[in-house]
Structure 1
Amino acid sequence: MSRQDDLDRIAAQEAVLVFPRFDLDAAWALGAGLRDAALARKAPLAIDISLRDRPLFHAALPGSTGENADWIRRKRNTVLHFSKSSYGMGLSLAAKGETLEAKHGLPTRDYAAHGGGFPLLVKGLGCIGAVTVSGLPQRQDHVLVVEALALVLGKELDDLALAEG
């Protein structure tokens, strides 16, 4: 699968994985689903679901570290700045030979264009927050978040799924 194929699929994921409304129950369902999926895979994941102004769900699973919390913060900042997935941003920048710092003036100490952050999109409102994970290779982080969003939203990924790599 080419980088452009991935970018097209990520754009389609962002168009489809939209909540009709988002509340604390939705945050809990999404966070618990991510936790269950990570535990089933024995993944050393840290999980965060935050609105723009506050955290709603956070979990650190066995094997995760404080470094994962910092990666989450940086990926979440990227999602909230662009209202796009952090993996999609990374692929898009890489395709052009650019970086967040060089292209947008965003320091790497506070922003990361690596997989694992995805916008919480609500119909009629746009991006209200981010769901972010850290602990697996970046593509797998992205895949896990998208699968959890699709499950909570009752959406079939069909040809929108990225192959796990």
Structure 2
Amino acid sequence: MSTLIDTLAQQEEELVFDSFDLEQAWLLGTRITQAARAAGHAVGIDIRRPGFTLFRAALPGITADQDVWLARKAAVALRMEKSGARVEAEWREMGIDPFTGGWLGEDYAVTGGSFPIRVRGVGVVAAVSVSGLASSEDHDLIVAGIRAHLEEAAR
């Protein structure tokens, strides 16, 4: 396994919630939105469960394409229960083209920018996604937001 994959897997192991509800979604989404605004990023932020949007923000400069990318990125994190960045890195290392063979269609974007919300003792309950930057920057914005959120909750 590559160092990148190890790092991404470690993030998923570390960034686990004790619980996650609408209040937690609001707090996490607001935190990521504030960080993106402070940095001047034109991004969309989305937290969703299958069939239900828990949080959504669109910052100035976002395009309609980001709305589509948010949904496609979240679809990967929810289906694979891993970050899109990790799925992309693992499949690249294994030489897998996710769109060959027809099992992943245009509803999926295998790229960084979505992270599974995992609750201790429960599993993946939602995905948080960002779109508008380079996929690695989208991923990093999410990870920083989750890390800060969990650190504050632990105090």
CA deviation string 1:89-145 (max 9, x = no partner): 1111111221222267101x1101111100010011100110001000010000000
SS of equivalent residue, structure 1 residue 101 = coil
**1:33 aligned counterpart, secondary structure:** helix
Tell me how far apart the structure 1 counterparts of residues 136 and 32 of structure 2 sit (CA, whole Å): 15
2:47 to 34, 46, 49: 49
Aligned with residue 140 of structure 2, among 124, 143, 157: 143
Where structure 2 has 5 or more consecutive residues not aligned to the other structure, the ranges are: none
User: What residue identity is the alignment partner of 2:97?
Assistant: T
Shift in CA distance, 71/90, structure 1 to aligned 2, threshold 3 Å: same
In structure 2, the residue matched to 1:59 is 57
TM, length-normalised to structure 1: 0.88
1:131 paired to 2:128? yes
What percent of counterpart residues are identical?
38
Runs of 4+ aligned structure 1 residues displaced above 2 Å come to none
TM-score (norm 2): 0.93
Shift of 1:152: 0.5
Q: Secondary structure at the match of 2:108?
A: coil
Correspondent of 2:111 among 105, 111, 114: 114
In 1, the alpha carbon distance for the partners of 2:7 and 2:33 equals 24
Alignment length (residue pairs): 152
RMSD of aligned Cα (Å): 1.5
Report which stretch shifted further, 49-58 or 134-143.
49-58
